Amino acid sequence: MSQETENQAASETGPSAASPDKWYKIRFRHKDQIFTATSKLQDLQADETVMVGTDHGSEPAFVVGLGPQLPLEGRLADLKPLFAVQRRCNVDEQEKFLRLVDKEQEAFAFCLKLIKKHQLAMKLIKVERFFNGSKIIFYFTAENRVDFRSLVKDLVQEFRTRVEMRQVGVRHETKMIGGLGSCGRELCCSSYINNFAAVSIKMAKEQNLPLNPTKISGICNRLLCCLTYEFPMYKELKRQMPRCGKTITVDGKPLKVIKHNVLEESVTVIDPEDRAVSHDLPRAAWEPAARKQRQQNQAKKGGRRDKNPKNSSEKPAKPRGRQK
């Protein structure tokens, strides 16, 4: 190997080589939602305070730990970080950050007094102050429209900065307050969910869950967000199974399907002539019958399409000659 080649290899593997960005999990406040951020810094530790770029300037945040690292595979391949860590906080910024949290608590208490003073039908949830002091946001919930102009006037006079009153729903209220779910873990919404997906009672039915509202509702009194997690899998597995109420033939014997056991990949069947006895069929037993049933259904649909002239690919011949 020549000297030039050795120098080139050393420059590529040496400390001057560009390292890929590292992914970290961060929180802007204690007990706040966890976000993913990239950083050129390779040695950040948990509980360190860093400056993060946001749409309204730099904000301090706590490092929670390492995030997913490159190369990302599977469903993580489309994951994109929301923020970028700029640098570590210096001593002055750390002290200012601690004072900022205290100021938010003081602003919360002051706003509560004003709400009682003006007799407003609203519930204060959270106060957020920008690190640069340019704005302060008061999050609240209310059943009806609230005229808070006099409240904002008093808040501006007290804090001498821009004031925004932002009304949120009950799901966002739970997300901001945080807590533990019925599963014993931290709430999904307060830990990592960015956007709330639509949840319907159909998802609980597809997963054979009890339709008791206390069982399938969260502490926000709305349907559990986790109902959406396994719904696509249940839907796909049930699509492969014979439908409930249908009769399938297994070993030359007709059996009626009365229940799906999705996790066990089995179906509960009964003998139409002896309804008192039921038993479960494993996948190896019901899959051939279900496959044959799907093929028959597809053949029937294809036959109906052929009989329908609207769906026929052949256009009717135009009549020749002049029409009288």
pTM, full prediction: 0.68
141 and 107 both lie in a single domain: yes
177 and 114 both lie in a single domain: no
In a domain? residue 207: yes
* CA 46 from centre of chain: 25
Cis amide prior to 68 (ω within 30 degrees): no
User: Residue 119: what pLDDT?
Assistant: 92
Q: The domain that contains 152 carries what CATH number?
A: 3.30.300
Structural domain containing residue 108: 96-168
**Is 270 in contact with 278 (CB distance < 8 Å)?**
yes
Number of domains in the chain: 4
pLDDT more than 70, % of the chain: 81
Measured CA angle at 16 (ends 14, 18), to 5 deg: 105
267 and 215 both lie in a single domain: no
109 and 162 both lie in a single domain: yes
Q: The domain that contains 249 carries what CATH number?
A: 2.30.30
**Is 99 in contact with 68 (CB distance < 8 Å)?**
no
pLDDT > 90? residue 167 = yes
102 and 132 both lie in a single domain: yes
What CA–CA distance (Å, rounded) separates 109 from 269? Answer: 62
Q: What is the DSSP letter of 129?
A: E
pLDDT digits (tens, 9 = 90+) for 11-25: 444 444 455 678 888
pLDDT bracket for residue 309 (50, 70, 90): low
What CA–CA distance (Å, rounded) separates 145 from 279? Answer: 57
pLDDT digits (tens, 9 = 90+) for 38-78: 888 888 888 888 999 888 888 899 898 887 665 555 555 56
In a domain? residue 310: no
Those residues whose C-beta lies under 8 Å from the C-beta of residue 22, and which sit 6 or more positions away, are 38, 39, 40, 41, 42, 44, 66, 69
134 and 164 both lie in a single domain: yes
Cα torsion 277, 278, 282, 286 to 10°: value is: 90
Average confidence (pLDDT) over 116-142: 92
User: Residue 38: what pLDDT?
Assistant: 84
In a domain? residue 304: no
82 and 27 both lie in a single domain: yes
Measured CA angle at 188 (ends 183, 191), to 5 deg: 125
User: Residue 117: what pLDDT?
Assistant: 93
pLDDT > 70? residue 306 = no
In a domain? residue 280: yes
In a domain? residue 307: no
User: Residue 245: what pLDDT?
Assistant: 81
179 and 115 both lie in a single domain: no
Angle between helices 149-159 and 91-118 (to 10 degrees): 150
28 and 54 both lie in a single domain: yes
In a domain? residue 101: yes
What CA–CA distance (Å, rounded) separates 269 from 257? Answer: 4
202 and 144 both lie in a single domain: no
Instruction: Give the strand pairing for 57-66 and 135-141.
Output: unpaired
pLDDT > 70? residue 9 = no
pLDDT > 60? residue 99 = yes
**Is 49 in contact with 94 (CB distance < 8 Å)?**
yes
Report how many helices (DSSP H) and strands (DSSP E) the chain contains, helices first. 9, 12
User: Residue 68: what pLDDT?
Assistant: 67
Which tops the pLDDT comparison, 304 or 301?
301
In a domain? residue 209: yes
In a domain? residue 4: no
Instruction: Give the strand pairing for 162-167 and 135-141.
Output: parallel
pLDDT > 90? residue 292 = no
Mean pLDDT of the chain: 80
According to DSSP, the residues that pair with 58 across neighbouring strands are 53
| Segment among 9-23, 121-135, 254-268, 281-295 with least mean pLDDT | 9-23
What CA–CA distance (Å, rounded) separates 296 from 273? Answer: 24
pLDDT > 50? residue 6 = no
Boundary residue ending a domain (191, 206, 232): 232
Walk across the sheet containing 123-129 and list its strands.
Answer: 123-129, 135-141, 162-167
**Per-residue DSSP letters for 58-127?**
EEEEEEEEE---SSP-GGGGG---SEEEEEE--HHHHHHHHHHHHHHHHHHHHHHHHHHHHT---EEEEE
pLDDT > 80? residue 232 = yes
Longest dimension (CA), the chain: 98
Q: What is the DSSP letter of 224?
A: -
Average confidence (pLDDT) over 181-200: 86
What CA–CA distance (Å, rounded) separates 56 from 134? Answer: 9
206 and 248 both lie in a single domain: no
